[in-house]
Amino acid sequence: MSSADNPLGAAAPFDAAQILASLGEVAYDWHVDTDVLLWGNNAAEVLLIRDPAAIATGRGYAQILEAENAQARFDAVTQSGKRDDGHGVAYQIQYGIRPDPGSETRLWVEDTGRWFAGPGGQPARARRAPRHQ
């Protein structure tokens, strides 16, 4: 790549997953209707998960949520009471996760994203880059 192609002079290609990981964030795309939860390649690193397959569904991810959480993403999306006008509906919640049930390690996650309605107006997808604190 020449400096004409890259006016900022970056030496390496843009790697969004690497940037998100350096910020303690990972993107996801949750298909609410099928419960499939697709994570960015850096999910295990950011969320300290040993087996990313364990959080490949919304239900699987719910298994690592702390019991005392006031709210979870499922509730924020499916029970928001708002309508998607075509631009998605914003949500923002914080909750604790315990990546390894046998460990004392606990992370606080800030989950801010948008859910998008399907043909019937109900939430069909949710997208975000959650960040632990």
Q: Is 93 helix (H, G, I), strand (E, B) or coil?
A: strand
The conformation of residue 103, written as its DSSP 8-state character, comes to S
State which amino acid sits at residue 14: F
Question: If you average pLDDT over every residue of the chain, what do you get?
Answer: 86
Query: What are the structural domain ranges in the chain?
Result: 16-132
| Rounded Cα distance, 49 and 91, in Å | 24
User: Do the Cβ atoms of 108 and 83 come closer than 8 Å?
Assistant: no
pLDDT of residue 92: 93
Domain 16-132 belongs to what architecture? 2-Layer Sandwich (3.30)
CA distances from 91 to 49, 67, 71, 73 (A): 24, 20, 11, 8
Predicted confidence at residue 24, as pLDDT, reads 82
pLDDT of 131 reads 53
pLDDT digits (tens, 9 = 90+) for 37-61: 999 988 998 899 989 999 999 999 9
CA 115 – CA 93 distance, rounded (Å): 13
- Residue 132's pLDDT is 52
**46 near 24, Cβ under 8 Å?**
yes
- The answer to whether the pTM exceeds 0.75 is yes
